[in-house]
Amino acid sequence: KKVTTAKATLTEKELDLDLRHNLLQEALYHRLASKYGNETVRTEQPSGVGTQIDVVVKMKGEYWFYEIKTALTPRACLREAIGQLLEYGYWPGAQEPNRFIVVGESLIDEDGQEYILRLRKQFSLPIEYEAIVI
């Protein structure tokens, strides 16, 4: 017989996810800064529409928006991030980016790659997925 009740605190779960997110954000920042330079990479960048973007790279007039997710699978990361990224880039008054990059801890599989290619082709959405392992 399966357990039907349990006790847990949402506060603890949220804190664990926030701490994991912070670790991923710091690792991503350092990786991008070492590749493109500290002056081009910012964290918690205001979107211009009342929200904050996890990481932004600004190079040669281009903006790249990175959204970090702590979900266990690339599919779940994509599901959670796409709506946020669309709002950051396309809400009236927002800075439209050249690239949207969803960041998760798991490597993307073949189905995930196919999904991203379909979004690019059908909707001209400049979306990518990047794995970061810490």
Neighbours of 16 (CB within 10 A): 11
Sheet holding 52-59, edge to edge: 41-46, 52-59, 62-68, 99-104, 127-131
Q: What would the pLDDT profile of 32-49 be if each residue is shown by its tens digit?
A: 999 999 999 999 999 888
Backbone angles phi, psi at 59, to 5 degrees: -140, 130
Residue 94 per-residue DSSP state: P
- The residue ranking higher by pLDDT, 93 or 1, is 93
Per-residue pLDDT at 98 = 97
What is the pTM (predicted TM-score) of this model? Answer: 0.86
Q: Is a pLDDT exceeding 80 seen at residue 12?
A: no
Pick the closest to residue 90 from 125, 128, 57 (CA basis): 125
Residue ranges of E strands in the chain: 41-46, 52-59, 62-68, 99-104, 127-131
Q: What is the arithmetic mean of pLDDT over 52-63?
A: 95
Per-residue pLDDT at 43 = 95
Measure the N-to-C terminal CA separation of the chain; round to a whole number of Å: 38
Q: What is the arithmetic mean of pLDDT over 5-24?
A: 67
Per-residue pLDDT at 6 = 60
Q: Is a pLDDT exceeding 90 seen at residue 56?
A: yes
Q: What would the pLDDT profile of 99-114 be if each residue is shown by its tens digit?
A: 999 999 999 999 999 9
Per-residue pLDDT at 9 = 62
Q: Report the chain's C-alpha Rg in angstroms.
A: 16
Backbone angles phi, psi at 121, to 5 degrees: -70, -50
Tell me if 97 sits within 8 A of 61, measured CB to CB: no
Per-residue pLDDT at 133 = 87
Q: How high does pLDDT run on average in the chain?
A: 90
Q: How far is CA 6 from CA 15, 46, 93, in A?
A: 19, 39, 45
